[in-house]
Structure 1
Amino acid sequence: MSDDPQTRRQIEAIANDHRPLLVLDVDEVVLEFLGPFMRWLQSEGYTFRPLTFALNGNIFDAKGEVASKTEVEALVTRFFDIQHEWQVLADGFPEALEPLADSAQIVLLTAMPHQHFEAREALLTSLSVLYPLVTTEKAKGPAVALLHGGRDAPVAFIDDMAYNLISVAKSLPDATLIHLMAHRQMRELMPPLPQGIVAASDWSSAAEAARKALGL
């Protein structure tokens, strides 16, 4: 069971479903995050230099000094406050997912403070992404397990961060784990994926891996 009470309440509000379950991360999976975030940083006088696979250490202020961890966290919070002005759908997402929509239960699970739920839901709705949304401030594994609810059907999980995929593997060992990251330049800096995770280069390959995993 999720150890985030608000996450648990959001999941309990979703109608029971016995179809195969497909859980999708939002940033860098459903929505572009890094590209819009970099452009917004520039508008604020900052520069993003993709030196490592991280946000911390890659953001520089107008003086050329690296932004502190606290400053980066504040920038991300500010960006999420105006996300609707910058974020767009990841390339290929709607077309790739549409064939699965009738045969699987699709839920969006985003790791972000709950205070941004309404803004994120409004953005997704404006982009015609109408699947249920769940926010969590804790590990994703317990949340995906609660979504699955012990149903006699397979589950697949798509995320851009290895630690989220590993978290789900610990909570649901039989889940199919698929890695997808929209921003190619940052993906090239990513450490090798742990064994057992399917690497998808784009939404077409991610959807095909999910289709096979869910037996559709």
Structure 2
Amino acid sequence: MSEILDLSHVRLGDRPLVVCDIDDVVLHFVAPFQDFLRGEGHELLPRSFRLTGNIVSIETQIALEHPDVRRLIETFFEAQENWQIPFDFVVQTLDALSKDADVVFLTAMPPRYWEHRRRLLDRIGLTFPLIASEEPKGPIMQRLHDGRPLPCVFIDDIAHNLHSVRDHVSECLVIHMMPDSPLHLLAPKPDDGIVRATDWGHAAELIYTHIQSKAA
């Protein structure tokens, strides 16, 4: 039996909750990961929305097997502080939102890299609580919100994460936000009813509208 994810470090007030993914939502992932791969003698050929099978040796053009892809991803996470940078206006937007809501980061990443990501987020001024887990996001969001009669919002770039949260927290505003990378253009599309934010300015508009509608 797996251990229950510890959420005790996340302390919520009596106000709305905004839970946000990190990679390719708050911090660039695909673009710096491509730069990292080239330095390792590999390249990402976006032929489908997956990494295994699409990362190839520059020299031979042979695709790497899953264990080698996993090793590269973990090496990248180990060095993420040297590679990943925030998206435009994310720091300002989340800082403004935090005046009216509790902001929490929920990143799909092995928990052993929590400290690396914590240092990176703190360095750029994003000091909000951070949860790192490879578990489904819907049940985590359900535990965080815990049925409170307050607005909640979830932002992610991956359809199955959005669907997971929608299915576990029906009253949550679920926002799809992703970069226009060649890889993301091949991603599965979220179901109808999940709203798409084009950038952080647009996301803020959607979030404030949702919060205000629940307060009315």
1:115 to 98, 108, 112: 112
- TM-score by structure 2 length? 0.92
Higher relative contact order (CA 8 A, sep 6+): 1
Return 45-54 or 183-192, whichever deviates more. 183-192
1:101, CA displacement in angstroms? Answer: 1.3
**Aligned with residue 93 of structure 1, among 90, 113, 135:** 90
Q: Deviations 1:107-146 (Å, cap 9, x if unpaired)?
A: 0001111100111101111111111101112101111111
Q: Is the 8 A contact 1:32 1:183 kept in 2?
A: no
Matched, 1:60 2:56: yes
Number of equivalent positions: 211
The answer as to whether partners of 2:18 and 2:154 remain within 8 angstroms in 1 is yes
Q: TM-score, normalised by structure 1?
A: 0.92
Q: CA deviation at 1:202?
A: 1.4
Structure 1 CA distance for aligned equivalents of residues 208 and 63 of structure 2? 43
Does residue 31 (structure 1) correspond to residue 24 (structure 2)? The answer is no
Pairs within 5 Å for 1:32-51: 32-51=28-47
Distance of 1:183 and 1:32 partners within structure 2: 11
1:47-104 deviation per Cα after TM superposition (whole angstroms, max 9, x unaligned): 1112222212221113110111221111101110100010000122123333211100
Moved more, 193-202 or 113-122: 193-202
Looking at structure 1, the residues matched to 183 and 196 of structure 2 have their Cα atoms a distance apart, in angstroms, of 15
Is 2:9–2:129's contact at 8 Å kept on the other side of the alignment? no
Quick one: structure 1 residues 159 and 69, their matched pair in 2 at CA, closer, same or farther if it must change by over 3 Å? Answer: same
Task: Name the Cα RMSD after superposition.
Answer: 1.5
Contact 1:178 1:199 in 2 (8 A): yes
Gaps of 5+ in 1: none
Q: How many Å apart are 1:16 and its aligned residue? A: 3.3
Aligned twin of 1:103: 100
Do residues 149 (structure 1) and 122 (structure 2) align?
no
Query: In structure 1, which of residues 13, 16, 31 is the aligned counterpart of residue 12 of structure 2?
Result: 16
Match of 2:189 among 189, 192, 199: 192
* Aligned mates of 1:210, 1:43 — CA distance in 2: 39
**Whole-Å separation in 1 of the counterparts to 2:88 and 2:188:** 23
Q: Paired residue for 1:135?
A: 132
**Which one-letter code corresponds to 1:27 in the other structure?**
D
Q: Percent identity?
A: 36
Which deviates more from structure 2 when the two are superposed, residues 103-112 or residues 146-155?
A: 146-155
